[in-house]
Amino acid sequence: LEIFLFSLQQSQNERTIPSKDFFFLTVTLRLEADKMDSEHLQPQLLWTILIGLSLPYLAETYGFSKCMQYEFDIHHVFCIQKKITNLINAISDIPGYTTHLNLTQNQIHILPPYTFTNLSALVDLRLQWNFIQEIGMGAFWGLKNLTFLSLVENKIKSVNNSFEGLSNLKTLLLSQNKITHIHKNAFAPLVKLKHVSLSQNNIKNFYNILEAVQHLPCLEYHDLFSNSIISLDHHPRSLVSLTHLSLQRNQLTELNFSALLLPNLTTLDVSQNGHQVIQNVSLETLPLLKGLNLSGTLVNLEALPAKHLQNLREMDLSNQEFRSRHLNLNTVCHLLRNLPILETLVFQKNGADAEGIKYLSNCTRLLSLDLGKNNDLVYLNDSEFDAMPSLQRMNLNKCQLSFVSNRTWSALQNLEALDLSYNKFKSFPDFAFSPLWCLQFLFLSRNPITELDNMAFYGLYSLKELNLGGCWIVTIDKYSLAPFPNLESLHLRNNNIRYLKHKTFQFLKKLKVLILSCNHLEAIEKSAFSGLTNLYKLDLAYNILSGFYADIFLGLENLEILDLSFNKITYETIRTLKIPPFINLKSLKQLNLEGQMHGIQVVPTSFFQGLNSLQELLLGKNPMAFLDQLQFDSLTNLTKLDILGTRAEDRNLYLDTSLSHKLKKLKVLHLENNNIESLTPGMFSGLEGLQVFSLRFNNLKVINQSHLENLKSLMYFDIYRNKLQCNCDNVWFKNWSINTENVHIPYLWSYTCQQSNTQSLIDFDDNVCNFDLGKVCFFFAFSLVLITMIFSWFDVKITSSLWYGLYIFKTWCLAKWYKREKDFTYDAFVSFTATDEQWVYEELVLALEEGGQPTSKLCLHHRDFEPGVDIFENIQNAINTSRKALCVVSSHYLHSEWCRLEVQLASIKMFYEHEDVIILIFLEEIPNYKLSSYHRFQKLVNRKTFITWPDSAHERPLFRARVRNALDNKTVENDNAQLIVAE
């Protein structure tokens, strides 16, 4: 009690509990403590008090320092990889209605008592991948609703009475710790526990485990995988409810369960135990056993009591090679014949060959047979499975098979699934699968198959799924796929297909899923997908598609998911396409265009035309993406837009201000990691239904009310890892984020400021931004009266002196001006690229220095720079000694770093001397969107008049006159059609 009062005092000192509430709680506790001994203080009293403490948190806003709420469900909170050491502080601000809490991968070492008392609604708690060594008594007290608890991969060595209060826990995961001992009453409070995992620990004493779990009335699944248990307990015990027991990868020397009554156990896994043959086997206390895994455990099968395994339906005898290398098939056959209802046999890694399989098939009537990873299995061609007509599923993967004939499965007319993946098939003989007229699933992935022979697959009319991923297939045509009229899923990922021809899939009328990702597709002909009227999903990711033929998706009227990510699709103009690529996809709901190799760059105006049903659009991970105002006009049903990771060097994502006005149904918008520096007010005002808005990992400095205007449905706003400044511009956002109860802002309390004198945005004192209007009016009126009186006195007393001083000041300024005029060496410094050098000397120099009056003196790089001086210093001196700076702009000029430097230095001179010294000459017309990445040019063009080099020869004299007049600060009165003035 004293410890608890001390913690209350600490909380009050940290202002987490109001003073009046603290006084009430303290007095109440003192009175109750006086009435009873500490040993009689009921836990219920503490629990009631702690519940009272948790109530204020229900009204807290939710933006936390170490945690974040799931954007689609505020009841789920994640605190993953946040270097949390003090757990109580980290979760102190989490609201009490939280049902799922994930604290994975932190640096937690201790769980103190009563850690989670404020989170009584928790049903799922995950603490895996920490450094937890100690769990305090009552650490989970108050979590009466918890059903799932994970403590995987920590440093726990022993389990004590730490689970008090978890009366509804159903799953407990304690795997990958260092547990050697469990207190016999550790699990006693867990009366509803069904699943407990203690795998990958250091447990040696099986008796200790049984003692701890024997009082769990609901326990069904017990996992002791990878411990150090040598022998089973021989003290009579009973676990009535247990149905699954795993003792895999221990060091068992016996399988004697005679003292352990498990009347309802259905699955027993004792695989990978020991390095010697186990002789002592007793399973008579397992009457309902249906699944037995002996893989890798060397058991004397003759000692295996078949009479006690009459309910067995599944058995794993994999990796049973004895010292003589091969398993005695006679013994196996004898065992199988005494298991009348056995349905599934796993017989991997046993060195079985074709003859051994044929012998084995005469011993049993199975429904499922797994013969994978048998390296001696090279061919099948002699009716090996004739004695298994009821077989429905067969696995032959990861063998060394290179040949099969139709005689192999001539009797397998009931076979539904066949796995031949990871073998060495290059081709198949004609009619290789013709007897399998009921086959529905065929897996041939990771074989060196180069082509599909339609005769080899003749007869597979019932096939629904065909997997040919990771083969060497180069081409496919409509005839190679003709044998599969009922196919629903075709997997061709990771092949070498380069082209899809006209009507390649026309015979696959029922196909629903087509996977063609990770090939080398560079061209798809018109109507290649014709006939796929039922196709639901098409995956073309990770190819080298650069464009689309007309009507490329013709016939896919029911397609809902299209993945075109990581190709080479790119456009250089926003002009309307004659035939939009998606015009026929009326039912498409999800489109993925992420990660194009060179970036989409510019999205044409009509690119998305026809996608009226589209709900999810992914455009992220493109180095460049330019989106104007009309591209989204047809996407009236879009609910999710993802444009993340488009940053390339210093370029940022360009979004038109009216881009979102048509997206009335948009609910999720991700604009993360795009180098965005500012938001245009009202840009998102049309998104009234937006619920999730993420601007994470950008360079935003200010968020104000105009940016979030009209976002009435907003529930989640993420601006984590931006560069918000702690100044008066962000006062609205600070107050809004703290006081709003409807919008979650992840990690709000950890937003740091760029200024070194302020710790975080929330700690910023906004009092400096507030002022009293009355005081301001008083001081303004007082100052106005005072100034009026002073000027009146000046007017009467020293008017003449003022005029004299004014003339003196004017004379000084004019003298300084003329002096500065004489200091210039050149009339203009010319900034140009080497590509435009010929035009400068033939046109500009000839016009200004040699032809026409008055002549001007120009400063040119190669002619006037001083040899031996640093180039940066030469440029700076040239600009400082020139009256003007002539910038000869072309497409090459925009990409020159030296030209960019010259413009920056000229702009600095303009800023400090308050003189307009820059003159822009455009040699060619450059679209505005190409200037969007060059902020300084765009600003100059938007506020200055610039001169364009005319194409017509008779207009060039007027061009020269305009340049001379610009140098002399004069203007020409005549109109010039070639002069472009930015609005």
Q: How confident is the model at residue 670 (pLDDT cuts 50, 70, 90)?
A: very high
Residue 419 domain flag: no
Q: How confident is the model at residue 902 (pLDDT cuts 50, 70, 90)?
A: confident
Q: How confident is the model at residue 971 (pLDDT cuts 50, 70, 90)?
A: very low
Whether 297 and 198 map to the same domain: the answer is: yes
Where are the alpha helices (H) located in 704-749, listed in sequence order?
Answer: 731-739
Whether 850 and 725 map to the same domain: the answer is: no
The answer, yes or no, to whether residue 296 has pLDDT greater than 50, is: yes
Whether 198 and 299 map to the same domain: the answer is: yes
Give exposure, 345-356, as e/b (b: 16+ Cβ within 10 Å).
Answer: bbbbbbebbbeb
pLDDT for 420 equals 98
pLDDT for 806 equals 60
Q: How confident is the model at residue 465 (pLDDT cuts 50, 70, 90)?
A: very high
Placement of tokens 């609604």 in the chain: 121
pLDDT for 542 equals 97
Whether 785 and 850 map to the same domain: the answer is: no
Q: What is the CATH number of the domain that holds 766?
A: 3.80.10.10
Whether 733 and 857 map to the same domain: the answer is: no
Whether 230 and 200 map to the same domain: the answer is: yes
Q: How confident is the model at residue 830 (pLDDT cuts 50, 70, 90)?
A: very high
Give the lowest-confidence range in 205-209, 230-234, 507-511. Answer: 230-234
Residue 160 backbone dihedrals phi, psi, to 5 degrees: -110, -160
Whether 747 and 786 map to the same domain: the answer is: no
Helices (H) and strands (E) in the chain, counts: 18, 49
Are 667 and 637 spatial neighbours (Cβ–Cβ below 8 Å)? no
Number of separate domains in the chain: 4
Q: CB-side exposure of 432: number of CA atoms within 13 Å?
A: 20
Are 179 and 201 spatial neighbours (Cβ–Cβ below 8 Å)? yes
Rounded to whole angstroms, the Cα distance separating 677 from 659 reads: 18
Q: How many degrees, rounded to 5, is the angle at CA 223 between CA 222 and CA 225?
A: 155
Strands (E), 806-911: 826-831, 858-859, 882-889
Where are the alpha helices (H) located in 84-157, listed in sequence order?
Answer: 87-90
Q: Which residue has the higher pLDDT, 818 or 88?
A: 88
Write the CA distances from 165 to 112, 140, 185, 612, 866, integer angstroms: 15, 6, 14, 54, 85
The answer, yes or no, to whether residue 240 has pLDDT greater than 60, is: yes
Rounded to whole angstroms, the Cα distance separating 260 from 748 reads: 56
Q: Which residue has the higher pLDDT, 819 or 860?
A: 860
Taking residue 375's Cβ as centre, other Cβ atoms within 10 Å add up to: 12
Q: For residue 288, what are its two tokens?
A: 């309902």
Q: Which residues contact 759 (CB under 8 A, 6 or more apart)?
A: 752, 753
Last residue of a domain, one of 789, 815, 841: 815
The amino acid present at 350, given as its one-letter code, is N
The answer, yes or no, to whether residue 127 has pLDDT greater than 90, is: yes
Average pLDDT over residues 23-51: 37
Kind and range of the H or E run holding 788: helix 773-797
pLDDT for 324 equals 42
The amino acid present at 857, given as its one-letter code, is K
Rounded to whole angstroms, the Cα distance separating 102 from 795 reads: 77
Where are the alpha helices (H) located in 55-121, listed in sequence order?
Answer: 87-90
Q: Which residue has the higher pLDDT, 854 or 727?
A: 727
pLDDT for 224 equals 97
Q: How is the chain split among helix, strand and coil, in percent rounded to 5?
A: 25, 15, 60
Rounded to whole angstroms, the Cα distance separating 402 from 425 reads: 4
Whether 168 and 232 map to the same domain: the answer is: yes
Residue 369 domain flag: no
Average pLDDT, the chain: 84
pLDDT for 824 equals 80
Residue 699 domain flag: yes
Rg for the chain, CA atoms, rounded: 40
Give the lowest-confidence range in 281-285, 464-468, 736-740, 797-801. Answer: 797-801
Q: For residue 487, what are its two tokens?
A: 């196919």
Q: Which tens digits make up the pLDDT trace of 633-649?
A: 889 999 999 998 886 56
Give the lowest-confidence range in 192-196, 346-350, 447-451, 890-894. Answer: 890-894
Q: Which residue has the higher pLDDT, 550 or 147?
A: 147
pLDDT for 61 equals 42
The answer, yes or no, to whether residue 974 has pLDDT greater than 60, is: no
Residue 800 domain flag: yes
Among positive and negative, which fits the CA dihedral 955, 956, 959, 961?
Answer: negative
Q: Which residues contact 337 (CB under 8 A, 6 or more apart)?
A: 363, 364
Taking residue 304's Cβ as centre, other Cβ atoms within 10 Å add up to: 20
Are 506 and 482 spatial neighbours (Cβ–Cβ below 8 Å)? no
Q: For residue 470, what are its two tokens?
A: 């990771």
Q: How confident is the model at residue 763 (pLDDT cuts 50, 70, 90)?
A: confident
Where are the alpha helices (H) located in 93-174, listed in sequence order?
Answer: none
Q: Which residue has the higher pLDDT, 329 or 153?
A: 153
Taking residue 817's Cβ as centre, other Cβ atoms within 10 Å add up to: 9
Last residue of a domain, one of 783, 815, 847: 815
Q: What is the CATH number of the domain that holds 860?
A: 3.40.50.10140
Residue ranges making up the domain that contains 195:
156-312
The answer, yes or no, to whether residue 805 has pLDDT greater than 70, is: no
Nearest to 171 by CA among 189, 140, 187, 194: 194
pLDDT for 800 equals 54
Last residue of a domain, one of 781, 797, 815: 815
The answer, yes or no, to whether residue 23 has pLDDT greater than 50, is: no
Taking residue 559's Cβ as centre, other Cβ atoms within 10 Å add up to: 25
Q: How confident is the model at residue 172 (pLDDT cuts 50, 70, 90)?
A: very high
Write the CA distances from 881 to 829, 885, 912, integer angstroms: 8, 10, 15
Rounded to whole angstroms, the Cα distance separating 703 from 852 reads: 55
Query: In the chain, what percentage of residues exceed pLDDT 90?
Result: 51
Residue 744 domain flag: yes
Query: In the chain, what percentage of residues exceed pLDDT 70?
Result: 84
pLDDT for 945 equals 64
Q: Which residues contact 429 (CB under 8 A, 6 or more apart)?
A: 403, 405, 406, 456
The answer, yes or no, to whether residue 213 has pLDDT greater than 90, is: yes
Placement of tokens 């297939």 in the chain: 473
Average pLDDT over residues 227-246: 92
The answer, yes or no, to whether residue 210 has pLDDT greater than 80, is: yes
pLDDT for 718 equals 93
Q: Which residue has the higher pLDDT, 634 or 346?
A: 346
**First vs last Cα of the chain: how many Å apart?**
75
Nearest to 358 by CA among 410, 322, 413: 410
Whether 858 and 962 map to the same domain: the answer is: yes
Average pLDDT over residues 565-578: 88
Average pLDDT over residues 346-357: 90
Residue 833 domain flag: yes
Residue 427 domain flag: no
Whether 683 and 790 map to the same domain: the answer is: no
Pairing of strands 73-78, 68-70: antiparallel
Whether 841 and 959 map to the same domain: the answer is: yes
Average pLDDT over residues 84-90: 93
The answer, yes or no, to whether residue 347 has pLDDT greater than 90, is: yes
Q: Which residue has the higher pLDDT, 348 or 1?
A: 348
Q: What does the H/E/C string look like for 493-509?
A: CCCCCCEECCCCCCCCC
Whether 789 and 751 map to the same domain: the answer is: no
Are 292 and 316 spatial neighbours (Cβ–Cβ below 8 Å)? yes
Residue 660 domain flag: no
pLDDT for 655 equals 75
Rounded to whole angstroms, the Cα distance separating 493 from 539 reads: 9
Q: Which tens digits make up the pLDDT trace of 425-437?
A: 999 999 999 999 9
The answer, yes or no, to whether residue 680 has pLDDT greater than 60, is: yes
